[in-house]
């Protein structure tokens, strides 16, 4: 209801028809889209347009976006709207654009969402309002390739780069009420930890928490792939002679070549990563013999450690993916330690 952008993916809802835990499953690549400042003729406002267009009927317009509007409380929506207007940097910029458009003094107005911003040397300083976005009159030629230019009225949607600083704050304004900048891997690791001395809005967001995790995973993977793409020479991909010979084969059509990007074996989930694990395992088998024991461990949401934590947080286990994952990892590490060093089955001569 308050988001600025839309998820540009097809959500598969067929898995949530039974009594099992709700699952967030998508088809296609995860990405976000944003439209123009004003809706096209005969179209109702959506997403960021709700902050600008027909704000006299803004509450009713927001309620109409939700099929369960009869169950929503209008006073809560008004309170959230007022909070975003006073605290959120992006909401303030869109409200400023609304005032400029209503004055009719700036007919050709755009908003530029800045991807790279200048901040001082103190790491945790929040950006000021002027740093997150800029109002533009007329043509703009100095935009960075990742800056998002939102035009006054345009029928097509624009894709926001997954490494843009505003990627998550625009999609989850209630999880980032001040429009905070977010980093990637370290930030998500920090936010997935439960701490008693701070609020846990993200961890208690239930189904939205699942979507947030999927979004974060896609952002981190995109950043890793982008690094590999830009550091091919540093990764010494020119040493892969067989791939180079295959690429330069005389029977290869010129239009089918393109630019080959080689993923290193350290990239988790890549073909070379899986092959390396397989060959390592086969080497151990060839040297020590075939394994005598093959174990599979699964997670039980009724484990007392999980139940104790979810009872304290007043949520259900399938809404605490972070707790389930952490408890499972602890038990897996303990099992491996008992097998390797506890002499349960005698001395271990090899393991994978």
The span from the CA of 114 to the CA of 111, in Å, is 9
Instruction: List pLDDT tens digits, range 136-155.
Output: 766 655 555 567 677 777 77
% the chain with pLDDT above 70: 83
Mean pLDDT of 312-317: 80
pLDDT at 119 > cutoff 70: no
Is residue 97 within 8 Å of 52, Cβ to Cβ?
Answer: yes
Instruction: Output the pLDDT for position 85.
Output: 93
Q: Whole-angstrom Cα distance, residue 151 to residue 113?
A: 11
**pLDDT given for residue 250 in this prediction:** 54
Q: What is the pTM of this model?
A: 0.61
Highest mean pLDDT among 29-43, 125-139, 144-158 belongs to 29-43
Q: Give residue 213's Cα distance to chain centre.
A: 6
Cα–Cα distance measured from residue 219 to residue 168, given in angstroms and rounded to the nearest whole number: 10
Whether residue 69 is predicted with pLDDT greater than 80 in this model: the reply is: no
pLDDT bucket at 246, cuts 50 / 70 / 90 = low
Helix, strand, coil percent content, the chain, rounded in steps of 5: 45, 10, 45
Question: Which H/E stretch holds residue 347?
Answer: none
pLDDT at 157: 83
- Which residue would you say has higher pLDDT here, 134 or 295? 295
Q: Are 53 and 45 in contact (CB under 8 A)?
A: yes
Q: Is the pLDDT of residue 120 over 50?
A: no
Which of 17-21, 229-233, 331-335 is modeled with the greatest confidence?
331-335
Regarding predicted confidence, which is higher, 267 or 293? 267
For residues 308-312, give the mean pLDDT. 83
Q: Read off the pLDDT of each residue in 60-84 and give the average, rounded to a whole number.
A: 88
What value, to the nearest 5°, has the Cα angle with vertex 197 and ends 192 and 202?
35
**Token reading at 9:** 């993916």
Q: Which residue has the higher pLDDT, 121 or 8?
A: 8
């Amino acid at each position: 209801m308050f988001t600025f952008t839309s998820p540009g993916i097809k959500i598969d809802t067929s898995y949530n028809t039974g009594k099992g835990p709700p699952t967030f499953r998508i088809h296609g690549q995860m990405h976000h889209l944003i439209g123009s400042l004003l809706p096209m003729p005969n179209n109702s406002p959506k997403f960021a347009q709700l902050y600008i267009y027909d704000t006299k009927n803004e509450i009713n317009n927001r309620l109409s976006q939700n099929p369960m509007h009869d169950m929503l409380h209008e006073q809560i929506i008004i309170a959230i709207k007022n909070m975003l207007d006073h605290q959120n940097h992006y909401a303030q910029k869109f409200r400023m654009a609304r005032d400029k458009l209503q004055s009719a003094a700036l007919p050709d107005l755009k908003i530029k969402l800045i991807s790279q911003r200048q901040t001082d040397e103190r790491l945790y300083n929040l950006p000021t309002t002027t740093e997150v976005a800029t109002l533009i009159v007329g043509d703009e030629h100095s935009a960075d390739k990742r800056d998002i230019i939102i035009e006054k009225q345009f029928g097509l949607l624009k894709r926001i780069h997954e490494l843009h600083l505003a990627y998550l704050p625009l999609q989850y304004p209630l999880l980032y009420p001040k429009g905070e900048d977010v980093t990637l891997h370290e930030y998500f690791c920090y936010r997935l930890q439960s701490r008693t001395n701070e609020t846990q809005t993200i961890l208690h967001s239930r189904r939205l928490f699942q979507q947030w995790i999927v979004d974060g995973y896609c952002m981190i993977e995109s950043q890793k792939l982008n690094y590999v793409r830009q550091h091919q020479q540093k990764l010494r991909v020119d040493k892969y002679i067989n791939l180079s010979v295959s690429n330069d084969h005389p029977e290869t059509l010129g239009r089918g070549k393109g630019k080959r990007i080689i993923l290193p074996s350290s990239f988790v989930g890549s073909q070379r990563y899986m092959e390396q694990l397989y060959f390592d395992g086969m080497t151990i088998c060839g040297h020590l013999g075939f394994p005598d024991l093959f174990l599979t461990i699964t997670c039980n949401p009724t484990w007392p450690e999980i139940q104790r934590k979810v009872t304290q947080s007043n949520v259900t286990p399938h809404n605490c993916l972070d707790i389930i994952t952490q408890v499972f990892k602890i038990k897996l590490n303990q099992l491996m330690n008992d097998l390797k060093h506890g002499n349960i089955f005698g001395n271990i001569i090899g393991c994978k």
